[in-house]
Amino acid sequence: MALFYLWTPITDVFFNGAFHSNVDVQIQADSVKLKENKNLLAIHVLVSNKGKIPVDITDKNAFILEIRKIDDQKDNEWTDVDKLKKINRVSLLRNIQEVPKGKALITFEPNSDSDQTESIALSNGVYWVHARLDMGNPKDDGDFFEATEIIKVPTQ
């Protein structure tokens, strides 16, 4: 009987992810026509923490949204994202007040959802939109979650 009581916490830790984050990042976008060739693109970066522990973000540069324009591509060639023209890169946490070093700027609680929204005026075209949430220091190669969408402006 004692083995059963010991077995349950062990399985929670190693198999059920009791001490792991399970974050999902998604991108949704829509555009509104402003002028003949200008559109306002609204980008929603949705974050869901489906894990059992809170996720604390302590660095303003840990949650980034980047947009690059996809110009004319040759047939049968892979797109090298690093060679695409960078339109904008912004921290989604830039408007949060400074907090003492080591304290969380934002906490994604277990079973919670968050929607960070940005908007930008863009000309007609196709864009690579990328969001990245670093769990540790963004300069390290630690855990991160990301989402990428290819968006045609104006959206249909």
> For 48-63, how does the pLDDT look when each residue is reduced to its tens digit (9 = 90+)?
998 888 888 888 889 9
Average pLDDT, the chain: 84
Domain count, the chain: 1
What pLDDT does residue 136 have?
65
How many whole angstroms separate alpha carbon 18 and alpha carbon 7?
Answer: 14
What pLDDT does residue 143 have?
81
* CATH value at residue 50: 2.60.40.10
Which of the two residues, 137 and 78, has the higher pLDDT score?
A: 78
Section 119-126 average pLDDT? 94
CB atoms within 10 A of CB 26: 13
Name the residue range of residue 26's domain: 2-153
Q: Is the pLDDT of residue 2 over 70?
A: no
Q: Where are the alpha helices (DSSP H) in the chain?
A: 2-14
Which of the two residues, 122 and 13, has the higher pLDDT score?
A: 122
- pTM given for the model: 0.80
Q: Is the pLDDT of residue 154 over 60?
A: yes
How many whole angstroms separate alpha carbon 146 and alpha carbon 27?
Answer: 9
